[in-house]
């Protein structure tokens, strides 16, 4: 059997490669809604703290734990913080159901390592199980395209 290098180069991208390629081009902000808790995210209220309230989901990613943390939710229309004064996860869920959701910043971690969305493909290129775990979590959240993010898009002018 003869294998030519050209055959390898012309191989179509796998679904994971396509998904990761699409994700790393997006911004690090996600709009959330009431389904965030159904996706397995836990809310940690921080009223009165210097740190903002946040959501986090932990999952297995290769031989370590991975986590996606959503912090600093803001209302894109006003720029005001959302859920900052919540005192419980039940109160946050109620307010999310009423539409007080906002846009949140995504932070990723793998074990003790922190990384940004655009670093995923390079950081785990040789670990498809880790890449797949993060890609699945992020696909469910649907990070915004840069041109649709009120925080990241270039000002028109």
Q: What is the pLDDT of residue 9?
A: 45
Phi (first) and psi of residue 57, to 5 degrees: -135, 130
Of 73, 19, 18, nearest to 41 by C-alpha is 73
Strand partners, 54: 44, 71
Phi (first) and psi of residue 144, to 5 degrees: -70, 150
Give the tens place of pLDDT for each residue, 75-110: 988 989 899 999 999 999 999 988 888 999 999 999
Q: What is the pLDDT of residue 14?
A: 57
Over the chain (157 residues), the average pLDDT of each successive run of 10 is 43 68 87 91 91 94 96 90 92 90 95 92 92 93 88 68
What ranges do the domains of the chain cover? Answer: 15-147
């Amino acid at each position: 059997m003869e294998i030519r290098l050209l055959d390898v180069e012309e191989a179509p991208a796998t679904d994971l490669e396509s998904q990761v390629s699409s994700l790393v081009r997006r911004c690090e902000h996600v709009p959330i809604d009431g389904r965030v808790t159904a996706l397995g995210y836990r809310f940690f209220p921080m009223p009165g703290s210097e740190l903002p309230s946040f959501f986090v989901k932990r999952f297995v990613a290769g031989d370590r734990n991975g986590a996606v943390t959503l912090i600093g939710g803001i209302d894109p229309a006003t720029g005001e913080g959302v859920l900052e004064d919540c005192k419980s996860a039940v109160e946050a869920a109620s307010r999310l159901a009423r539409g007080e959701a906002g846009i949140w910043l995504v932070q990723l971690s793998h074990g003790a390592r922190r990384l940004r969305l655009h670093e995923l493909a390079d950081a785990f290129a040789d670990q498809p199980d880790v890449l797949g775990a993060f890609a699945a979590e992020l696909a469910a959240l649907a990070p915004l395209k840069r041109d649709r993010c009120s925080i990241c898009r270039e000002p028109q002018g």
